[in-house]
Structure 1
Amino acid sequence: MLTPHQTDEQLMLKIDGELTIYEARNLFEQLTPFVSHSEKIAIELSQVTALDSSCVQVLMAFKKARIEQGCELIHHSEVVVDVLGKLGLVGWFHDPIVLSSSQ
């Protein structure tokens, strides 16, 4: 579900699969160790196939906790864009929406 990858500039956290209420606790537990990570984090979402408000809340809490170190959501899947749009939260994250090139 969550795969970390270090680049020269930042830590990339790639999330794939479904992000629904059934995965919310697991997502929270996987993200928690990275809250205090000292460098910028990018969460890559191109392989997210389902998303609901429970996991959106986890992502919001993580981004808010990392306000000083930096965190951005990148390569949004169509599912992510659709759900954030329906919830009226695209602007809340302040991240440019760039769909994965495979979509």
Structure 2
Amino acid sequence: MPFSLYTDFQSDYPDIVSSMKVTIEGELTIYEASEFKEKLNSILKNSPVVLEINLSKIQKIDSSCLQVLLAFKKEVQIKDREVQFVDPSHNVLNLMDLYGIAVFLADKTKLSSRQELEKFSFDYGRKED
């Protein structure tokens, strides 16, 4: 199953888009990495200052697409914008934990209370919000 990206613009003012919510759904493997990178870059080109990327519907992810997410975060920071990765799926958490990069994403990653965090070696996100 290929991946899909869904966007939702958010604003407190009618004429100003202040944030965008992006939901990623499906499978992200090396076969989708190039297209995934292009779509994220397109979103960044037209995005407001704050991006929230929901990772809860990612059914499968490999290291190539995780690298795309990490590179995207760096690119967002270079452009003086903010990105938050929210509600990562169990598969995303497993890969982050495997590579020990949870700390790199921890500053902006929000975890839902439904996660079974005792399976992971990282410590952040275990407190109630």
Tell me the TM-score normalised to structure 2 length.
0.72
> d(CA) in 1 for partners of 2:112 and 2:92?
10
Inter-CA distance 11–99: structure 2 relative to 1 (3 Å threshold): same
Identify which range, 46-55 or 91-100, moves more after superposition. 91-100
Instruction: Report SS of the residue matched to 1:38.
Output: coil
Q: What does residue 89 of structure 2 align with?
A: 77
Residue number among 15, 21, 35 corresponding to 2:30 in the alignment: 21
Q: 2:8 aligns with which of 5, 13, 21?
A: 5
How many residues are aligned here? Answer: 103
Bigger Rg, which one: 2
Contact 1:46–1:100 (Cα < 8 Å) also in 2:
no
Q: Is the 8 A contact 1:13 1:43 kept in 2?
A: yes
SS of the aligned residue for 1:66 comes to helix
Q: Which runs of 5+ in 2 are unaligned?
A: 12-17, 117-129
C-alpha separation between the residues in 2 aligned to 1:71 and 1:7?
14
> TM-score scaled by structure 1?
0.89
Residue 30 (structure 1) aligned with residue 39 (structure 2): yes
Structure 1 residues 16-59: Cα deviation after superposition (integer angstroms, max 9, x where no partner) = 00111111111101111122323210110110001111001110
CA distance in 1 between counterparts of 2:109 and 2:71 reads 19
Structure 1: gaps spanning 5 or more residues = none
Percentage identity across aligned positions?
A: 29
User: 1:49 aligned to 2:52?
Assistant: no
| Stretches (4+) displaced over 6 A | none
- Structure 2 distance, partners of 1:80, 1:35, is 21
CA RMSD of aligned residues (A): 1.9
The match for 2:111 among 81, 98, 103 is: 98
